[in-house]
Amino acid sequence: MNGKPRILVTRRTFDEVLSDLRRDFEVEDRQHEARPLDAALLKSRLADKDGVMLAPGEVLDASMLAAAPRLKVVAVAAVGYNTVDVAACTARGVLVTHTPDVLNNTTADMAWALMLAAARRITEAERWLRAGQWQGINFGEMWGVDVHHATLGILGLGRIGRAIARRAAGFDMEVIYHSRRRVDAEIEAETRASHVGFDELLARSDFLMLILPYTPQSHHLIGAAALARMKASAILVNVARGGIVDDAALIDALRNRRIAGAGLDVYEGEPALHRGFLELDNVVLSPHLGSATAATRLAMARLAARNLRAALTGGVPPTPVNRVG
């Protein structure tokens, strides 16, 4: 032992980030491991650690904390932290941090990519073309729907929601939104977004974007009842978190054309996927790639490392979730 604080980095990350951390910490990394840590292994690896850089979606619960008496900081390398028991961390004096803002525009780009792909049936058309079915231009084939001048509904006008809304100006879209709390008038003016009730959002949106946190209150917020209030021509896009949408209800609505389509980057119980999605042509699927560009993932890793370093050296982490001490 060299007396340095011990850190666990649970997933492969950038070599330069690890090199920087190793200047001041004893780091256990998993650069050559393809699979994520299972719960039992994560629990055992945390037993002698002072800090952990936790990958997106990894669960850290009260039982793991109880087995990690030295732990001082959980640095989640993502903006979402719903898989971490923040209350249990706070009770034990463990700081939780996350990585907001650095991924706003990249995730907004992904939301738009899914929306455009679903609207113009891009993945369906590519499969059709690759299967050798294209016989030339036919005015009656592969009709999509226009994005320009349509109504974009955003459920959750936070940082990423605002970035999504700003992009709508270039498509001359009407933007409406619903959030738990109405945003300031300056933000509404800057994003050209009008606040509406939840039911009105469902009823009026040609494209409904979900970009809100996953909480017990938002679990299955978009279920059979909500889907039934949407337009039959509407397209749903989820770049938020799995569990906000009832996947089984969405599959039923898509299969029976109660809504026209969907673009999904997140799922219930991921990386498991409801097999019903694979049977549908009117859904665009991606494997949780919202922040997946090299520049943005590097920024996320660097911010997580800054949070770790500050928490373990007496500094103030830039993006804390809770307060301790």
**Which residues form the catalytic set?**
241, 270, 288
Chain center to CA of 316: 26
> What is the identity of the amino acid at 127?
R
How far is 256 from 240, CA to CA, in rounded Å?
24
Phi, psi dihedrals of residue 193, rounded to the nearest 5°: -110, 135
How far is 259 from 232, CA to CA, in rounded Å?
4
Structure tokens at 30: 């998993």
Q: Are 96 and 88 within 8 A, CB to CB?
A: no
Q: Are 229 and 254 within 8 A, CB to CB?
A: no
Which residue in the block uniquely carries the two structure tokens 């990585």? 99
Helix (H) or strand (E) holding 15: helix 15-22
How far is 83 from 321, CA to CA, in rounded Å?
13
Where does residue 149 fall: left (phi above 0), alpha (psi -120 to 50 degrees), or beta otherwise? left
Which residue in the block uniquely carries the two structure tokens 């770790």? 308
Q: Are 168 and 190 within 8 A, CB to CB?
A: no
Cα separation of the two ends of the chain: 28
